[in-house]
Structure 1
């Protein structure tokens, strides 16, 4: 077995799926009996839809979205009002066509995970539920893990080249590695209930209401619709509540005193936290998703970033496993994903304070950033797997696409109506307007795309005689403005072969 993935949530299943896309087998184990039965994270941004398109499931995800895409995000005393703030009311999200050719989707985690699991299996992954990791050890050659069948208690020992910890915010794997976390800590503790009721008169099909109401525990909570019409979830401050109290709280949250309520499930307590792991890797073990980043659920970046974690890690694992890259390439997992994770976590904390807990504003909040130019497409991966140019100070963010190494490759519409982004994802790719670089790329076994016109060159900061080396994760590894430059040296540098 090449890779053992522990955890079948968004990040673990995405990692397995993208490993399969790169031709690497994996085993995914999950201690729960099924994928998530709760809506949890909802919505897929265009940058996520791009990678789902690469995996061949973007349409499946779009089709799994509720038929009414319009989403309402408000702060209110109850679903029936009064409304204090309309945060977001839109049909398809902001227009990001200048950054991407992909669209939006509004699929919940409970529908998303089975799609990811199905595609991972199609690409060669084995996915086993009711199976937990008991312990693991690692050495220079790989990882030895003991797995247990939750139902029978039967144990087996497996050997893998690498272990991916996608085992959630408590992450026994992270704890076993002795990796600490840094952040603002626990912000609050809550419990949630899933219930059936008719809220059509006060709540649209797709809605999330941040509740500010002194009659609720902690004077607030969150009420959210699910994919099933007539099914909702309410989260409030932690406490011991019997069924009658839950019904009372749901009626308060809805603003309908005589609402007919049927409780379906009540969950245990969970913390709202803010922290980022101090390292994302240790030897042959690499962490993704909630195992490395926990933040308030205010912004919808958690689920999207979990999918992207798997996308960004998988190509590195695959190239190292296949001997196409040096093991040092995996050392860049922390260097590239941790700064971005810290940035995203701070953004979601800002949203949390603004929407839910203004009393926590101590003057240290990060300024809210534009999602398109910063959080989706404007962050950079600055590490030893990128050939930075002279004078580059390694900034994490850039408001406008530049094409410089370490940044996301700009989206440029090609003559056939497709995007330059659709040329990437399977391996390193060279973009150029010169046959000179096509020959050079071919000699190195690289795919080169000979592009016409000046639009692409301008967007990527080169001339038509220049060349741009793009990594499998759509990020620029190197560029040269003209016919001069060491493409082979840049490739070896990016693959950590020198």
Structure 2
């Protein structure tokens, strides 16, 4: 077969997961190729909100401020209301005018950009970092062997090109074909219903009480599916209503007319004669589904291709971005040769349990917010937000566990004390510099002991690993990381603690830890 071009990494899908993977690969110096079958980025005002842990990753990529500016002012709050309709009875308000205060865990604040606004920012940054992006490019086939992946692409003009890549990232969404072509099944509660999303214009006056943004989960037996959701968008006067159908009623779903949609919008808003102008309609599915494995040979799944979940809780888009963040440095290490190929096995080991956790949390949130009739006692217990955002652990994978390891998947991040497999704690070093400011573009060794600085220089030279030692004055940071004055902690590019030596040690100890983490023989 003739090969038209060769790339280190081919990414299929330019949604949040694919765009983030491309951006972070570029940050680590990998010139990837990203292809997308659609003519441009999403025009749907969905997947709104970048949580604190996601903003930490976006800060590393240099786009945090852009993303924040693309959304509405978070200081205005975001009420999430459970109601019969926007104008009707209100049953419960989940978030009022204030966000949770996580300032003890992170220096970042939330952002509220929609997918419609965020995707172009991520792709723009990816291009700046050397990634090539091609729209209107369809992947017709993917095959792989021991040495790489071959993809046949069909361009907008009908021309066919064959690309040979060392690795492929499948970010082609929950309807994408790559996962299925690899023979990777899924598990979970499956498809929950069919949904219709309608974007429309209407004059709602003071119905939203002057708020720039609002989200209503609707429990309304008059609506198809018994309810749905109402959300404002980035543009004043433009809104979206989602309503569902049971899977068995898919035929009725397909037969919906614009007049039927207007009726559903009026029921959702609670104004029977509301003038409505429909702008767009899209069908989708609501599902709880996780891939049985996230890797198959040289192909790795991210985003909705890896896990699909109800939107309740707003972590689907965040998980997609962070899939790319956590995978990119591993791909970069293997492509550059300073990591063994086995490092990529940790993508499944570390990210699939998290996908299962978040999908379970959002299913439980869906029951609490809009589908109480589905409660049967098998749904997950809803965990504190700080545990799922900052307290997720990689107990196995690219880490060297120590004697404190208990195998827990989540923990209270305020009491992790920097054990391997946990997110590195945020501690202010000066008035405006945090420990977090040192992470993201290579391995970092934090220490107050100059001997470790010399050890890091020796290990980096010996192994060819991007490793920087940061010598800090003794202080609160050391207690937060569980170290003696002589100790050191090794932090991965994705802010997770890879290894630590509570007391003093040698360059041989550090090099051995790096070899283990990077699957080097």
Q: TM-score, length-normalised on structure 2? A: 0.93
Partners of 2:393 and 2:160 in 1: CA distance: 43
> 2:430 matched to which residue of 1?
415
Structure 2 residue 280 is matched with structure 1 residue 259: no
| Structure 2 residue matching 1:405: 3-state secondary structure | coil
Q: 2:396 aligns with which of 357, 370, 383?
A: 383
Contact 1:384 1:496 (8 Å CA) reproduced: no
Post-superposition CA distance 1:190-248 (Å, at most 9, x none): 21211100124222321111111122112211111110111111111242222222222
Cα RMSD (Å): 1.2
> 2:183 matched to which residue of 1?
178
> 2:362 matched to which residue of 1?
348
Structure 2 residue 382 is matched with structure 1 residue 368: yes
Moved segments of 4+, more than 3 Å: none
Change (3 A) 1:82 1:416: closer
Contact 1:454 1:463 (8 Å CA) reproduced: no
> 1:110 matched to which residue of 2?
116
> 1:490 matched to which residue of 2?
513
Q: 2:172 aligns with which of 154, 167, 170?
A: 167
Q: 1:467 aligns with which of 488, 498, 501?
A: 488
Deviation of the 1:418 alpha carbon: 1.1
Q: 1:443 aligns with which of 437, 458, 475?
A: 458
| Structure 2 residue matching 1:90: 3-state secondary structure | coil
Partners of 1:353 and 1:217 in 2: CA distance: 17
Partners of 1:235 and 1:391 in 2: CA distance: 46
| Map 1:286-435 → 2, pairs under 5 A | 286-372=300-386, 374-390=387-403, 392-399=405-412, 400-435=415-450
| Structure 2 residue matching 1:99: 3-state secondary structure | coil
Contact 1:384 1:493 (8 Å CA) reproduced: no
Partners of 1:11 and 1:384 in 2: CA distance: 21
> 1:41 matched to which residue of 2?
47
Deviation of the 1:416 alpha carbon: 4.8
| Structure 1 residue matching 2:49: 3-state secondary structure | strand
Partners of 2:63 and 2:473 in 1: CA distance: 30
Post-superposition CA distance 1:428-459 (Å, at most 9, x none): 11000100101101112231111112311110
> 2:21 matched to which residue of 1?
15
Change (3 A) 1:277 1:411: same
Q: Which runs of 5+ in 2 are unaligned?
A: 1-6, 246-252, 461-466
Q: 1:137 aligns with which of 138, 143, 160?
A: 143
Partners of 1:357 and 1:338 in 2: CA distance: 26
Q: Which runs of 5+ in 1 are unaligned?
A: none
> 1:278 matched to which residue of 2?
292
> 1:80 matched to which residue of 2?
87
Deviates more, 1:124-133 or 1:199-208: 199-208
Q: TM-score, length-normalised on structure 1? A: 0.97
Contact 1:325 1:497 (8 Å CA) reproduced: yes
| Map 1:228-267 → 2, pairs under 5 A | 228-238=235-245, 239=253, 240-267=255-282
Contact 2:19 2:123 (8 Å CA) reproduced: yes
Partners of 1:94 and 1:3 in 2: CA distance: 38
Contact 2:350 2:397 (8 Å CA) reproduced: no
